[in-house]
């Protein structure tokens, strides 16, 4: 069955953002293959719009490094396992840095926010709602980013988020379809992550990263700890 970017997520988007979201989804899940040529006229016809919002969409996708702009169109760039690994490398760095900024602040508010999203993830599992699970999963991690009160960190996260969102959504849809029992493990792993933040415990954070990132990054997460990239020194 052909999959699409969730319609309900487009409600507050401009036309250009909505087109970019759908094309981004297709590129990241490999429906649109590398080197595919996208013309303004072709995309405008596909989405029944003028060429102006298509140009806006292309600019957004270029910022995501998913396309290369050409005259009157764009060419799809490679988004394979290496690109996914690099993205999760950056995500790990951002969340590690955000964690380091919480050491000397009152963490009650961010913990309350993270636990709220954890509970909503549990509800999403009960209703077999991969889209809702994905949203609350990302919002849980995003709460940590926002709590850092680091403007440029949040800007960097906002830059990565659209692609991370698609990767998580595709993964959760596949799990919901083939291995629903695995969501209990994912929920427990996020509980460990929240515990690490609540106690500001770097050892527990290592465990949380191990549990949460092994699925997507093999053992790549460990090099940030083994190569003097300790949270305590950030």
Q: Which of 210, 139, 127 is nearest to 176 (CA)?
A: 127
Per-residue pLDDT at 212: 78
Pick the CATH number of 7-76 from 1.20.140.10, 3.30.70.360, 3.40.50.300, 1.10.10.10: 1.10.10.10
Angstrom distance (rounded) from CA 116 to CA 103: 21
Per-residue pLDDT at 234: 40
Q: Order across the sheet with 37-39: list the strands.
A: 37-39, 73-76, 67-70
Per-residue pLDDT at 232: 41
Per-residue pLDDT at 52: 97
Name the residue with tokens 């029992």. Answer: 181
Dig out the tokens for 29 from the structure: 């899940």
Calculate the dihedral angle through the C-alpha atoms of 46, 36, 80, 174, rounding to the nearest 10 degrees.
30
- The reported pTM is 0.90
Beta bridge partners of 76: 67
Mean pLDDT of the chain: 91
Instruction: Determine what percent of the chain is predicted with pLDDT higher than 90.
Output: 86
Per-residue pLDDT at 72: 83
Name the residue with tokens 């009960």. Answer: 126
Per-residue pLDDT at 214: 62
Counting as low any pLDDT under 50, the low residues of the chain are 217-219, 221, 225-234
Torsion angles phi and psi, residue 3, rounded to 5: -105, 155
Per-residue pLDDT at 1: 63
Contact of 44 with 51, CB cutoff 8 Å: yes
Name the residue with tokens 């440029």. Answer: 152
**CA separation, residue 189 to residues 67, 129, 168, 194 (Å):** 34, 19, 15, 9
Angstrom distance (rounded) from CA 88 to CA 213: 8
Angstrom distance (rounded) from CA 115 to CA 196: 13
Per-residue pLDDT at 222: 52
Dig out the tokens for 3 from the structure: 């999959």
Per-residue pLDDT at 87: 93
Per-residue pLDDT at 223: 52
Ordered by start, the domain boundaries in the chain are 7-76, 81-233
Domain 81-233 matching CATH 1.20.120.530: the answer reads yes
């Amino acid at each position: 069955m052909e999959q699409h970017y969730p319609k309900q997520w487009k409600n507050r988007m401009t036309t250009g953002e909505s087109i970019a979201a759908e094309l981004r989804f297709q590129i990241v899940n490999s429906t649109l293959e590398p080197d595919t040529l996208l013309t303004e006229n072709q995309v405008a016809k596909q989405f029944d719009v003028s060429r102006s919002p298509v140009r806006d969409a292309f600019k957004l996708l270029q910022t995501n490094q998913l396309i290369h702009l050409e005259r009157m169109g764009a060419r799809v760039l490679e988004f394979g396992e290496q690109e996914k690994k690099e993205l999760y490398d950056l995500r790990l760095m951002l969340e590690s840095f955000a964690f380091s900024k919480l050491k000397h602040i009152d963490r009650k508010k961010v913990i309350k926010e993270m636990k709220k999203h954890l509970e909503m993830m549990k509800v999403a599992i009960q209703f077999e709602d991969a889209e809702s699970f994905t949203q609350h999963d990302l919002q849980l991690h995003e709460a940590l980013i926002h709590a850092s009160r680091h403007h440029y960190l949040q800007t960097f996260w906002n830059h990565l988020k659209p692609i991370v969102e698609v990767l998580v959504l595709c993964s959760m849809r596949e799990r919901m379809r083939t291995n629903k029992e695995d969501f209990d493990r994912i929920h427990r792993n996020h509980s460990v992550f929240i515990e690490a933040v609540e106690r500001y415990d770097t050892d527990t954070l290592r465990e949380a990263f191990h549990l949460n990132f092994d699925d997507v990054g093999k053992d790549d997460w460990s090099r940030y700890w083994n190569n003097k990239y300790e949270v305590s020194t950030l």
